[in-house]
Amino acid sequence: MSKIGVFVCHCGENISRTVDCARVAKASGQIRGVAVAKDYKYMCSDPGQALIKNAIKEHKLDGVVVSACSPHMHEKTFRKAVTEAGLNQFLCEMANIREHCSWVHEKEEPTTRKAIELVRLMVEKVKRNMALEPIRVDVTKRALVIGGGVAGIQAALDIADGGHEVILVEKDPSVGGHMAQLSETFPTLDCSQCILTPKMVDVGSHPNIKLYTYSEVEKIEGFVGNFKVTIKKKARSVDIDKCTGCGECQLKCPSKKIPSEFDRGLKNRTAIYIPFPQAVPARPVIDREHCIYFTKGKCKACQKVCPTEAVDFEQTDEYVEEEVGGIVVATGFDLYTTDKQGPYPDYKGYGEYGYGEDPDIIDGLQFERLASASGPTGGAIQRPSDGKEPKSVVFLQCIGSRHPSKGIEFCSKICCMYTAKHTMLYKHKVHHGTAYVFYMDIRAPGKGYDEFVRRAIEEDGAVYLRGRVSRIYRSGDHLIVKGADTLSGAAVEIEADMVVLATAVMPQPGIEGLFQKLGISYDQYKFASEAHPKLRPVECATAGIFLAGACQGPKDIPESVAQASAAASKALILFSRDQMLREPVVAKVNENTCIACWYCVEICPFTAISKKDIRDRQGNLIKRVAEVNPSLCTGCGTCAATCFSNSIDLDGFTDEQIYSEINSLMAVGQDLFPEPEKAEGDSPDEKAA
C-alpha cells in the first residue's frame, strides 16, 4: 500500500479565499494510500518545504502531491525539495487548485469539492509514478541567433564574447534592423547610426560569429542542446567574396525607380543595391523582382561594369545545415499600416484618414528617415508631396494601438517617447513651425523619459492635445485634422501641412511561420510568448529557445538590448555544461507484445523510433520490434496512443496512470465531501468503513 503525503497550500489567501483548504487536507487524508495530509499558508516558503521534507522522513512517504498552484509555476521547486528529503523527484506531482480552481470559481461548495477531486486525481496518479532518472544529453555549444537588429546583434556579440560560436541569420541584405533607420534616439538624442554601426561592424568581423545575411531559417529539428537547423541562403546574385563593395553597379543600373525599403518609400533605389551606405556586409544584392535582366532577359549592365566579375546571374538559393545547442529569437517588429490592404490583413486600416493614400500622411519610421542626416532629404524636414517645409505638423499617437475596434488592444509603448522626440527634431529644424500632438495618455516611465516629454512641451513648445482624431481630409494645400481636446472639452480642427501617425508596433508580418517551425507559442497578435511573464521573461516554454527584443512585444532600444544580453546569458548558462538533463518523459516499447506493424515508426514526428532486430545466439533473426531512441524522443506520446498492440507506453504519462486518473474522478462511495461540522468527529480509522 502506498504512502502518499498530500500538502495543501493556502497561497496566502489566493486559494483559501474560495477553497476550504483545511477541508481539502482533511478529505485528502481519507483517500486510500494517503499517509499524511496537511495544509499550510505558504507551501513554497522555507517552512512549507521543511514541512514536506519532514513528513517524507517521518512517514517514509513514497509519493508526494502538492496541492497548490500550477505545476508550470512551482513543480521544480517542490521536486527539488523532495529530492533533498531523499525521494525521487518524479514521485512528486502538483494538483493545480489555484489557476484551475480557486481563481476561476466562486466561493461555493462545488469549488472545494473540485479541489478535493483534483487532489484525489493526482494521488491516484502518484501511486503509479515510478522513480525515474533524468536523461543526460550532450550539449552542442553553439548558438543560432535569428534576426540581425539591435537585439540580435547584442545577443550574438555577448555569446561570441563568451567564447562560443554564433550563427547569425538575417533575412535582409544587411544587419542593422530598424535601429539603423532611426535618426536620433530618446531620451539622449544621440545619433542612432553612430552608436549602432560599430556594433554592426563587430558582428561582421567577430571571429566567433558566422553571419548569414539575406538568409532565412528553413527548418529546425531536434531539441535543447541538439538542434539541427537548415538555413536558406537566398540567391544574392553577387559573389560577396569577389565583390569589393565599390558601388559601380548601382550607378549603372537602369532600373532606378524602386521604392527603397530602408528609406520607407521616401526615396528610390536601383535593382542592384546596397541597402544603405553603412550596411554590413557592404555588398549589393540583386532584387530579382525588379531587375530588368531577370524580368525581361536583357541588360546585364551591372555585370559589364563590375571590375571583379562578382555579379552572378546564375546563383541559386543555397541550403546549409548548422548544429546548435541554443537559439535566440530576435525577429523584431514592423509597423502597422493604415492602408486598406496592408501587410496585416487581419486588421482594419483607417479609412477615416484616407487609408494612407495621401503622401503627406506618414508614419513614425518615415519621419525618422526625413529627420535623418543620411535620409532622402539629408535631414531637412520636407513634406513628401512637394518638398515644402511644413509649417505645422500634427502628430497622432495610438494609431492602431489601444484601438479595440481596429483589432488591437495593446499599448505600443514606444510611441509617446518617439513622438516627443519627433516634435523636438522638428522644432530644432523648423523654428517657426508648430508641432501638435494628439495623445490619450503619456506613458513615459523610463529613466529620464518623463523629463524628456516635459522638455518637448516646455522648451520646444510642442502643443499637446488630449484626444483622438476622428478624421483627416485634404483641403487644397492642407490637411484638415479633426480632433478633440478632452481637457477643454472642445472639438479641435487643425490645418496641417503634414501628419505623422505613430502606428502600432506589430510583429514581423508572417512571423508565425517561423514560430511554428521553432515550436514556440505566440499570442493573438503573433508576438512570441515567454515561459513566464515575470520570472522567465526571456525563455520560451520550449527549452533552449530564448527571446530578445520586440518579437515578444513592443520594446524600446534599452529594453531590447537588456533582454538580448539576458537571452545571451541564458544561452551561456546552457553552454556552461557539457551535458544536460532532460525530463525522462520518453516512450518505451514492450518487446514481448510488439507486432512490428511499424505504425509508430511512421507516425513519430521526431524519427525517434527505429526497427530493431532480435536475434538468438546464433544470429538468427527471431523477430523485429520497434525501438525508441531516448535522446531523440521528446515525449509527445503519439506513438503510445496509436500503437495497435498497445505495446508502447510513455513514462510519466503511462496508460496505467491516466486510467487511474479517470477512475479517480468518478469514484464514489467514499464520502470525501462531508460538511465541515459533520466531519468533525471523523478519525482516520473510520475512513475505510
**Residues in 102-131 that interact with other proteins by CB under 8 A:** 103-106, 108, 110-111, 113-114, 117-118, 120-121, 124, 127-128
Binding mask 655-674 for other proteins (x = CB under 8 A): xx-xxxxxxxxxxxxx----
Residue among 460, 485, 495, 559 that touches other proteins (CB under 8 A)? 485
Of 36 and 640, the one with the shorter C-beta distance to other proteins is 640
Give dist(CA 85, CA 49) in Å, integer: 10
Helix H or strand E segment including 9: strand 4-9
Between helix 192-205 and helix 150-161 the angle, nearest 10°, is 40
**In the complex, minimum distance from the CB of residue 401 to other proteins, in angstroms, rounded to a whole number:** 10
- Contacting range for other proteins; rule: CB under 8 A; set: 44-52, 64-72, 376-384, 552-560: 64-72
DSSP lists the bridge partners of residue 144 as 167, 327
**In the complex, minimum distance from the CB of residue 102 to other proteins, in angstroms, rounded to a whole number:** 8
Residue among 489, 618, 619, 680 that touches other proteins (CB under 8 A)? 489
- The per-residue DSSP string of 522-553 comes to B-TT-PBPPSBTTTBTTB-SSTTEEE-GGGSS
Of 302 and 465, the one with the shorter C-beta distance to other proteins is 465
**In the complex, minimum distance from the CB of residue 79 to other proteins, in angstroms, rounded to a whole number:** 15
Angle made by CA atoms 429, 431, 433, in degrees to the nearest 5:
100
Of 613 and 656, the one with the shorter C-beta distance to other proteins is 656
Of 281 and 637, the one with the shorter C-beta distance to other proteins is 637
**Considering only residues 428-467, where is the footprint of other proteins by CB under 8 A?**
440, 466-467
**In the complex, minimum distance from the CB of residue 658 to other proteins, in angstroms, rounded to a whole number:** 6
Binding-site residue total for other proteins (CB under 8 A)? 103
What is the CB-side half-sphere exposure of residue 360 using CA atoms within 13 A?
28
- Contacting range for other proteins; rule: CB under 8 A; set: 139-147, 236-244, 299-307, 489-497: 489-497
How is residue 40 written as a grid cell?
499550510
Of 622 and 666, the one with the shorter C-beta distance to other proteins is 666
**In the complex, minimum distance from the CB of residue 348 to other proteins, in angstroms, rounded to a whole number:** 9
**Considering only residues 560-589, where is the footprint of other proteins by CB under 8 A?**
585
**In the complex, minimum distance from the CB of residue 246 to other proteins, in angstroms, rounded to a whole number:** 45
**Considering only residues 521-550, where is the footprint of other proteins by CB under 8 A?**
521-524, 529, 541-542
Listed in sequence order, the residues at least 6 apart from 221 whose beta carbon sits closer than 8 Å to its beta carbon are 227, 228, 229, 606
* φ and ψ at residue 228, rounded to 5 degrees: -115, 120
User: Contact between 3 and other proteins (CB under 8 A)?
Assistant: no
How is residue 55 written as a grid cell?
513528513
Amino acid (1-letter code) at residue 138: D
Alpha helices in 253-320 (DSSP H): 292-296, 301-305
- Contacting range for other proteins; rule: CB under 8 A; set: 202-210, 211-219, 371-379, 629-637: 629-637
Residue among 42, 294, 313, 606 that touches other proteins (CB under 8 A)? 606
- Contact predicate 612/606, CB 8 Å: no
Strand 142-146 versus strand 165-169 pairing type: parallel
**Considering only residues 24-53, where is the footprint of other proteins by CB under 8 A?**
31-33
Strand 285-286 versus strand 272-273 pairing type: antiparallel
Of 127 and 264, the one with the shorter C-beta distance to other proteins is 127
Residue among 252, 429, 482, 612 that touches other proteins (CB under 8 A)? 482
CB-based burial label for 149 (10 Å; 0-12, 13-18, 19+): buried
**Considering only residues 179-238, where is the footprint of other proteins by CB under 8 A?**
none
Give dist(CA 312, CA 294) in Å, integer: 12
**In the complex, minimum distance from the CB of residue 473 to other proteins, in angstroms, rounded to a whole number:** 4
- The per-residue DSSP string of 109-176 comes to HHHHHHHHHHHHHHHHHHHT-----PEEEE---EEEEE--SHHHHHHHHHHHHTT-EEEEE-SSSSS-
**In the complex, minimum distance from the CB of residue 491 to other proteins, in angstroms, rounded to a whole number:** 4
User: Contact between 292 and other proteins (CB under 8 A)?
Assistant: no
**In the complex, minimum distance from the CB of residue 670 to other proteins, in angstroms, rounded to a whole number:** 5
**In the complex, minimum distance from the CB of residue 639 to other proteins, in angstroms, rounded to a whole number:** 8
**Considering only residues 149-168, where is the footprint of other proteins by CB under 8 A?**
none
Residue among 295, 603, 615, 678 that touches other proteins (CB under 8 A)? 603
What is the CB-side half-sphere exposure of residue 226 using CA atoms within 13 A?
15
Binding mask 340-379 for other proteins (x = CB under 8 A): x---------xxx-xx------------------------
**In the complex, minimum distance from the CB of residue 33 to other proteins, in angstroms, rounded to a whole number:** 6
- Contact predicate 325/544, CB 8 Å: yes
**Considering only residues 373-432, where is the footprint of other proteins by CB under 8 A?**
398, 402-406
Radius of gyration in angstroms for the set of CA atoms belonging to the chain, rounded to a whole number:
31
- Contact predicate 160/166, CB 8 Å: yes
Listed in sequence order, the residues at least 6 apart from 345 whose beta carbon sits closer than 8 Å to its beta carbon are none
Residues in the chain: 689
* φ and ψ at residue 285, rounded to 5 degrees: -140, 150
How is residue 674 written as a grid cell?
462531508
- Contacting range for other proteins; rule: CB under 8 A; set: 101-109, 243-251, 282-290, 497-505: 101-109
